[in-house]
Amino acid sequence: MSAAPRHETAPALGAGTAWTLLAALGFGAVSTLTTIATDERVALFTVQAWRYVLAAALLVGFVRVRRFARLPRREELAWIVIGGGGQTLFVGMALSSLRFIPVATLAFLFYTYPSWVTLVQTVRGAEALTARRVLALALSFAGVVLIAGAPGAGGFAWQGVALALGAAAIYGVFIPTLQRMQKTHPVVVTSAYGKIGSAIGFVLLAVGGGTMTGAMTTTAWSAILALAIFSTVLPSVFFLMGLMRLGPVRTAIVSTVEPFLTAVLGALVLAQAVTPGIVLGGAMIVAAVVILQFRRERVA
């Protein structure tokens, strides 16, 4: 029997899980920190512009100090345009939904993205669409209905739901795309290029909207600094390190701790209610993700 691929070994899976959990800790605070900053009357795209400008500066500085080799010009451009542009798109959509829905609702709706990952992998021929996966998809979207409520029912915020689900679908395409682009490049280098692209994207959006400013309160700046360091730079590197060891589907599974953390932070910091519908629907979405992961595998 042939030896197991490197990314399938137990040490690699354990390390990948640890990196992904660390990433989830940082990413789980994004919605709460963003809400704190925008509550200080700072426009969303301005908050994200400064977040990514600072994150890009930190990563580029680290790359230069450590003397990492530059990527080939074509790959540099790909990471700036595809990596950074894609991140600008789904982050902008997801966080824009906070105008209509609370952070816990966004967190669980966004976590339908493993279902989109599975669909993308199926279309690519990398994953078979088994009965187990069909069940998982049904559970996931039933959870969406429970969380969002039916159209026409009181409190249904279709704009926020559409933005959150649209961001999740884009992210479902984004994850396997990143994995293919990563190759053997150092993750800190590709993260730096991606953050440069996101910084450019959000600065253009903020300037185009006439909201770009540096005149903000101490609270707003503190939230933005925390976003840049603890919810962008560190978790982005950790996430890619986990992704390259676990693959897109396993990474999605381990990351399911993130929406629960987001919901808890929203309740504790922002005093946002977490309803039984959100809890039950979120549990169904997470159960769907777990079902997607559990399949029989042989490792030689």
Is the Cβ–Cβ distance between 19 and 254 less than 8 Å? no
Residue 93 inside a domain? The answer is: yes
Residue 77 inside a domain? The answer is: yes
**Angle at the Cα of 69 from the Cα atoms of 67 and 72, rounded to 5 degrees:** 155
Residue 275 tokens, joined: 């309803």
Q: Is 181 helix (H, G, I), strand (E, B) or coil?
A: helix
**Cα(23)–Cα(59) distance, integer angstroms:** 16
CB atoms within 10 A of CB 74: 7
Is the Cβ–Cβ distance between 80 and 193 less than 8 Å? yes
Residue 92 tokens, joined: 């902008």
The domain tally of the chain equals 1
**Cα(22)–Cα(25) distance, integer angstroms:** 5
Is the Cβ–Cβ distance between 57 and 233 less than 8 Å? no
The predicted model scores a pTM of 0.81
Residue 76 inside a domain? The answer is: yes
Residue 229 inside a domain? The answer is: yes
Q: Is 1 helix (H, G, I), strand (E, B) or coil?
A: coil
Is the Cβ–Cβ distance between 113 and 168 less than 8 Å? yes
Q: Could you tell me which of 1, 10, 297 has the C-alpha nearest to residue 127?
A: 297
Is the Cβ–Cβ distance between 115 and 171 less than 8 Å? no
- The per-residue pLDDT string of the chain (300 residues; one tens digit each, 9 = 90 and over) reads 334 444 567 777 888 888 988 898 898 999 999 999 999 999 999 999 999 999 999 999 999 999 998 899 999 999 999 999 999 999 999 999 999 999 999 988 998 887 887 777 777 777 777 888 888 888 888 888 888 765 544 555 889 999 999 999 998 888 888 888 988 888 889 989 999 999 999 999 999 999 999 999 999 999 999 999 999 988 888 887 888 888 876 786 787 788 888 998 899 999 988 888 888 988 898 888 778 766 534 333
Helix, strand, coil in percent for the chain, rounding step 5 = 75, 0, 25
Is the Cβ–Cβ distance between 107 and 262 less than 8 Å? yes
Helices (H) and strands (E) counted in the chain, each on its own, are 14, 0
Which domain does 57 fall in, by range?
A: 6-293
Residue 257 inside a domain? The answer is: yes
Residue 1 inside a domain? The answer is: no
Residue 300 inside a domain? The answer is: no
